[in-house]
Structure 1
Amino acid sequence: MRLILNIIWLLFGGLWMAAGYVVAALISFLLIITIPFSFASLRIASYALWPFGRTIVDKPTAGTGALIGNVLWILLFGMWLAIGHLISAAAMAITIIGIPLALANLKLIPVSLMPLGKQIVPVGSSQQFAAVAA
């Protein structure tokens, strides 16, 4: 079922949202100080391409730098990417088949706003990472 949802997602929205993250990464690579934004954006772009079967957890080593970086990210790119996910979710929720895809878009909004200090893991291993962080 995850494979089918991922293929439908890729065709009807994932490719466009991942392209938005890649554009944000390319813009971030232009300045040396925003290179960490680029790596975070590319990480989230890979998640936006194939979200079903994976989840996002907080990195246990994320600290104040990630918080400050996330505030800058929201101002530069995060707000626009979150709006893109919201519009895409509204469009996908029109059909019954699109409802799981709309929920996946809504799941991506928090990470589109604050990607630094996050890690993408398979769904079954998210409890392991939570136990390590505690």
Structure 2
Amino acid sequence: MKLLGNIIWFVLGGFISWVSWIVIGILWSITIIGIPIGRQCFKFAKMSAAPFGKNIQFSDRGSSLILNILWLFFGGFVMVTEEITLGVIFCLTIVGIPFGLQHFKHAKLALLPFGATIYRI
């Protein structure tokens, strides 16, 4: 069932999220200083391509606070806005609610990507 959900997800809107994470990751990776942030974006691109069967655990450590603030101003706000918009659009239909909930999960991830860990369910 996870495989079917991931295929439908990618065709109906996950592709947009995946491409956005890849583009942001490439832009961050242009500079040497931004490579760690770009690598994190590529991890999340992989997760946004097939989110069913994966969950996100957020850390409450303060060590990633500076990176999260920097991320929010230089790419995070755009990603959060995109994910929330796609989530609302999908939740307008009954069939799209599971996909909308995945977009909302990605919006939280786009808001606080550093200190987050992706794991399989």
**TM-score greater than 0.5 by the shorter chain:** yes
CA distance in 2, matches of 1:63, 1:33: 21
Query: Are 2:112 and 1:118 equivalent residues in the alignment?
Result: no
More helix by share: 1
- In the TM superposition, residue 18 of structure 1 has moved relative to its aligned partner by 0.8
Counterpart Cα distance in 1 of 2:50 and 2:57: 16
Runs of 4+ that moved beyond 4 A: none
Report the number of matched residues.
121
Report the equivalent of 1:30.
30
Larger Rg: 1
Deviation at residue 35 of structure 1 after TM alignment: 1.1
Instruction: Give the aligned partner of residue 88 of structure 1.
Output: 86
- Superposition RMSD in Å: 1.5
Letter in 2 for 1:101: F
User: For structure 2, which runs of at least 5 residues remain unmatched after alignment?
Assistant: none
Letter in 2 for 1:71: I
Alpha-carbon separation, structure 2, partners of 1:122 and 1:69: 25
Residue-by-residue CA offset, 1:10-51 (whole Å, 9 max, x unaligned):
001111101001000010011111111101101111111100
Shift of 1:63: 5.1
Equivalence for 1:74: 72
For 1:100, which of 91, 98, 101 is the aligned residue? 98
Deviations 1:64-107 (A, max 9, x none): 2x211111000001110011111111211122110100011011
Structure 1 residue 58, shift from structure 2 partner: 3.5
Partner of 2:8: 8
TM-score (norm 1): 0.84
Percent pairwise identity: 30
